[in-house]
Amino acid sequence: MRRFLILAHRVPTGGQFTLNDLAGGAGRMDEVARAVSTAFTVSNDLRRDTEVSLLLSPLTAGIGRKITITGSRLRYLNPDERSTAALLKNALVRSVDHLQPFESSPGIVIGAIEPRAELARWLTEPAAVWLTEGGTPLREYVWTPPDLCAILSDPFDPTGEEAEALRSSGIPRLSVGPRSLRTSQVVDIVHGELDQREGNAPAPVR
């Protein structure tokens, strides 16, 4: 399973934004939605071996939201960021009246969480890595596909508290290249690297 955790810092957790202003009032939901779309869409199909979790911290102190999108169950996802943002907005708006996690549409589950505790849980995952500038080049890192649990940020840097938790956890820090890239581009490069490794893997012995 390829799993991505995207730290989203400014998206209104109650879905109080318009689809006509995804880059502004929606707290860069445009790039969050683009990263989700990139994580799952391939030519005429979806990646079924992928899961994306969005950890949305509130703009002020309080309970956040986690949206988990699972490729094996996912429906209604199109390649464009607007329709993807609409799916995510629907989940956020509906979650306001739900105390427990629920499936807002096929393959999309949303629930209330405490952001610090949720990040700490992810940092204990055996295949966890932090995708960040200045890390070990991705192509030099050795792990066994298809397992991966990659943590990365939206267009805004991790908060000081998040960065400290990531550093102190000791999980590997990986970089996809020398330049600062968009979240969606990082996801695409990671998928490409894993696709290449899996394609070059020896055939199983029968």
Give residue 187's Cα distance to chain centre.
Answer: 8
Question: What are the tokens at 90?
Answer: 């629907």
pLDDT band at residue 206 using 50, 70 and 90 as cut-offs: very low
Model confidence pLDDT, tens digit, residues 74-132: 999 988 999 999 999 999 999 988 879 999 999 999 999 999 999 999 999 989 999 99
- Does the residue 204 lie in any domain? no
Model confidence pLDDT, tens digit, residues 149-202: 999 999 999 999 999 999 999 999 999 999 999 999 999 999 999 999 887 755
Mean of pLDDT values over 32-43 = 96
Per-residue exposure over 118-137, b if at least 16 CB sit within 10 Å of its own CB, e if not: bbeebbebebbbbbbeeeee
pTM of the model: 0.93
Mean of pLDDT values over 141-156 = 87
- Does the residue 205 lie in any domain? no
Which one-letter DSSP state was computed for residue 121? H
CATH of the domain at 106: 3.40.1280.10
pLDDT of residue 170: 96
Question: What are the tokens at 184?
Answer: 């969606």
Helices (H), ranges, the chain: 29-40, 81-95, 115-122, 160-169, 183-200
Terminal CA-CA length for the chain: 23
- Does the residue 115 lie in any domain? yes
Coil, strand or helix at 20: helix
pLDDT of residue 183: 97
pLDDT band at residue 14 using 50, 70 and 90 as cut-offs: very high
Question: What are the tokens at 132?
Answer: 């960040």
- Does the residue 206 lie in any domain? no
Question: What are the tokens at 8?
Answer: 């989203």
Strands 128-137 and 50-56: unpaired
Which amino acid, one-letter code, is at 83?
A: S
- Does the residue 180 lie in any domain? yes
Q: Assess contact for 33 and 91: CB atoms under 8 A.
A: no
Distance CA 102, CA 11 (A): 20
**Which whole-number Å values give the CA distances from 147 to 53, 140, 176, 191, in the listed order?**
15, 16, 18, 12
- Does the residue 155 lie in any domain? yes
The domain total for the chain is 1
Coil, strand or helix at 7: strand
Give the residue numbers spanning the domain of 137: 2-198
Q: Assess contact for 81 and 34: CB atoms under 8 A.
A: yes
- Does the residue 122 lie in any domain? yes
Distance CA 4, CA 150 (A): 5
- Does the residue 203 lie in any domain? no
